[in-house]
Chains A and B, each alone.
Chain A
Amino acid sequence: MLNVKSKLTKLALGAAVMGVSGYSQAVDLEVSVQNLTQGIYFAPLLVTAHSPDQSLFELGEEASAEIQAMAEGGDISGLEAIADAISANTSANPNEGPLGPAESTTAMVYPDEGNTVLSIVGMIVPSNDGFIGLDNWTIPEEPGTYTLYLNGYDAGTEVNDEVRGSGMPGEPGLGVPPFLEDKVGFNATGVTSTLSNNYIHVHPGSLGDDDLEGGVSDLDNAVFRWLNPVAKVTIVVTE
């Protein structure tokens, strides 16, 4: 009961302060993202607190050009520009590079008034257009530690052929970063040539094969497969 009472008092005080100055107590966020997979990487992450009437992506809707650039090639600059334009509070690329299997990175975010939701995106590497995503999670007013698990999404902008190719938006194939040059195969014939869902959806996962010099996929099926969830997000909210 004590707890409840003190919370009520705080709320009442908060309301009083708001009444006087029109300003509510802001919270700070320590956002840790852990890659839960055994073989895939996350390209630079965008962690951003913004107003709830905006969103970086919506499941079941078409990806923006900026989401496409992030999901196909790992480029978050377009999304970062959007975040800045809507006065979001953003941490871009907190790990200063890719986030490897089981690795964690921490971003500090200091939301301004009105930036009451949190979004996170980053490309799944290697993939055609896979990304991890958190869409408009309401930032709690109550200080504490909150844990979320993220799924892998498919931007729906590129055929999941799993063939070595380009990371440029609109161009087919897997963009292969230098650190994965030796782990991704060659000469695959392609897992599929059709795009069955061109809206943002839950990624079905990579298929892969066990032939790095041919086969249907250039992805090693013992390394680059995953099941959801792919990331654990721990958010420490402080006043």
Chain B
Amino acid sequence: MKRFNKSVYSIALAAVAISLTACSDNDNDPVEEIVEVEPVPVVSTYEVSVVNLTAGQPASPIAVALHGSDVALWSVGESSSDGLALLAESGDNTEFLANENLLVTASAEGPTPPGESVVVSISIEDNDMSAMTVASMLGNTNDAFTGFTGMDLSTLEVGDSVTHYTHAYDAGTEANTESAEDVPGPAAGGEGPSEGREAHDFVTLHPGVVTLEGGLSSSVLTNDQRFDNPVLKISVTRME
């Protein structure tokens, strides 16, 4: 409500200024300089605070985007976009954030190791009705990612905070081989993105990693990379 009141107030000021100049025209007084009141942009800033809750999965640079409330950047049962596939297979979020439906974007500078935290800030002018998406890859997997998409920000007032505990999704674009060639994270050091769509090609929740000890002979992962839900704690706070 604070923010809303302020903008009402500045609109009222602008109206007064306009009516004053209109009066002076009618009176045939010496021409006065018409003062145009430029609307002051109302900036909404959100702080996205992320804690990596996993035992051994580095979270790739946290991608944050603001967009219209009708945009969803993934959906269980639907095919991943190319940008999401690249993010989920390699951790590279540039194509994901280049989506033309996004109004503003931000990214953490580097990955967030297990147990570590990172804060990403994002601001938008004259729009406190947008929705937020946050996404990150679990680095020691084939194509696991996490986050949320389409969080409604219209009811978040200055000082308010909302916390999400996120699930691990499977992008469905790469078979879960867990092999040295296909897993880009430090536990494997393989190549990230694969050429096409080798798996079932729809987003689901992730079944977890099997690991070599767990009985997957192609796996280079160990018990150290196992994870369970939730994988990230993400708190969104509206700062202004």
The complex places the Cα of A172 from the Cα of B5 at a distance, in Å, of 67
A131 contacts the other chain (Cβ, under 8 Å)? no
Question: Do the beta carbons of A208 and B205 come within 8 Å of each other?
Answer: no
Interface centre among A34, A37, A205, A215 (most CB of B within 10 A): A37
A37-B204, A102-B203, A207-B215 known; A225-B210 Cβ under 8 A: yes
A102-B202, A210-B215 known; A228-B229 Cβ under 8 A: yes
A207-B215, A209-B215, A210-B217 known; A39-B207 Cβ under 8 A: yes
The complex places the Cα of A205 from the Cα of B205 at a distance, in Å, of 14
Question: Do the beta carbons of B215 and A221 come within 8 Å of each other?
Answer: yes
Interface centre among B167, B175, B205, B215 (most CB of A within 10 A): B205
User: What 0/1 pattern do residues 148 to 192 of B give for CB contact below 8 A with A?
Assistant: 000000000000000000011010100110000000000000000
Contact partners of B170 in chain A: CB under 8 A: 38
A36-B76, A104-B77, A208-B215 known; A222-B204 Cβ under 8 A: no
B6 contacts the other chain (Cβ, under 8 Å)? no
Closest approach, in angstroms, between the C-beta of A223 and any C-beta of chain B? 8
Contact partners of B203 in chain A: CB under 8 A: 102
A210-B217, A228-B229 known; A101-B204 Cβ under 8 A: yes
Within 8 A of A (CB), among B185-216: 200, 202-208, 210, 214-216
Chain A residue nearest to B203 in the complex (CB)? A102
User: What 0/1 pattern do residues 81 to 103 of A give for CB contact below 8 A with B?
Assistant: 00000000000000000000111
Contact partners of B77 in chain A: CB under 8 A: 34, 102-104
Closest approach, in angstroms, between the C-beta of A208 and any C-beta of chain B? 7
The complex places the Cα of A138 from the Cα of B40 at a distance, in Å, of 47
A226 contacts the other chain (Cβ, under 8 Å)? yes
Main DSSP-derived SS at the A contact region:
loop
A65 contacts the other chain (Cβ, under 8 Å)? no
B116 contacts the other chain (Cβ, under 8 Å)? no
The complex places the Cα of A232 from the Cα of B76 at a distance, in Å, of 10
Closest approach, in angstroms, between the C-beta of A79 and any C-beta of chain B? 26
Which of A37, A207, A209, A222 is the one whose CB lies under 8 Å from B205? Answer: A37
Contact partners of B229 in chain A: CB under 8 A: 227-229
Question: Do the beta carbons of B76 and A221 come within 8 Å of each other?
Answer: no
Question: Do the beta carbons of B167 and A222 come within 8 Å of each other?
Answer: no
Question: Do the beta carbons of B208 and A225 come within 8 Å of each other?
Answer: yes
Question: Do the beta carbons of A38 and B207 come within 8 Å of each other?
Answer: yes
Which of B76, B172, B210, B228 is the one whose CB lies under 8 Å from A222? Answer: B210
Which of B200, B208, B216 is the one whose CB lies under 8 Å from A101? Answer: B200
Interface residues, chain B, with chain A CB atoms under 8 Å away: 76-77, 167-168, 170, 172, 175-176, 200, 202-208, 210, 214-218, 228-229
Interface residues, chain A, with chain B CB atoms under 8 Å away: 34, 36-39, 101-104, 205, 207-210, 215-217, 221-222, 225-230, 232
> What are 14 A-B interface contacts by the 8 Å CB criterion?
A38-B207, A39-B207, A101-B204, A102-B203, A210-B210, A215-B215, A222-B176, A222-B216, A227-B205, A227-B207, A228-B228, A229-B205, A229-B229, A230-B205
